[in-house]
Amino acid sequence: MSEETIFREVDEELRRDRLRTGWRRYGPYLIGAAVLVVLVVAANEGWNWWQNGNAARSSDQFYAALDLETGGDLAGAQKALDQLIAQGSGQYPILAKFKQAGLLAAQGKKDEALAGYDALASGQGNQRLKNLALLLGANVLVDKGDVAGVKQRIQGLLTSDEPLHNSARETLGLTQYKAGDLNGARDSLEAVINDPTATSEARQRLQLYVSQLVAQGATPPATAQTADSAASAAASGAAATPPAANDNSAVPAGTAAATDNTAPTGVESSQPSTPDAALDLAVPSAPAATAPPAPSDAPALSTGAAVPLPNADGTQQAPLPGTVTQAPASTTTTPTPAADTTTSK
Q: What is the pTM of this model?
A: 0.56
Q: Which residues of 67-83 are buried (b: 16+ CB within 10 A; e: fewer)?
A: ebbeeeeeeebbebbee
Q: What angle do CA 237, 243, 248 make, to 5 degrees?
A: 155
The total number of residues written for the chain in this structure: 345
* pLDDT on residue 8: 77
* pLDDT on residue 103: 92
* pLDDT on residue 116: 93
Integer CA distances (angstroms), 240 to 212, 232, 237, in order: 37, 13, 8
Residue 69 lies in a domain: yes
* pLDDT on residue 20: 84
Decide if 148 contacts 141 (C-beta within 8 A).
no
| Domain housing 80 | 1-107
Mean pLDDT for each 10-residue chunk of the chain (345 residues)?
72 82 85 92 92 89 91 90 89 92 91 93 89 94 93 91 93 95 94 93 94 92 61 54 44 41 41 42 43 45 45 52 46 46 40
228 closest CA partner among 190, 178, 266: 190
* pLDDT on residue 310: 53
Residue 71 lies in a domain: yes
Integer CA distances (angstroms), 89 to 18, 78, 96, 177, in order: 55, 18, 11, 42
Residue 101 lies in a domain: yes
Decide if 239 contacts 198 (C-beta within 8 A).
no
Residue 221 lies in a domain: no
* pLDDT on residue 208: 94
Residue 75 lies in a domain: yes
* pLDDT on residue 38: 93
Residue 40 lies in a domain: yes
Helix-then-strand count for the chain, H and E: 11, 0
Residue 68 lies in a domain: yes
Integer CA distances (angstroms), 336 to 160, 278, 330, 333, 341, in order: 81, 21, 16, 9, 8
Domains: count for the chain: 1
* pLDDT on residue 207: 94
Start-to-end Cα distance in the chain: 162
Q: Is 297 helix (H, G, I), strand (E, B) or coil?
A: coil
Would you give the DSSP letter of residue 162?
A: S
CB atoms within 10 A of CB 254: 6
Residue 80 lies in a domain: yes
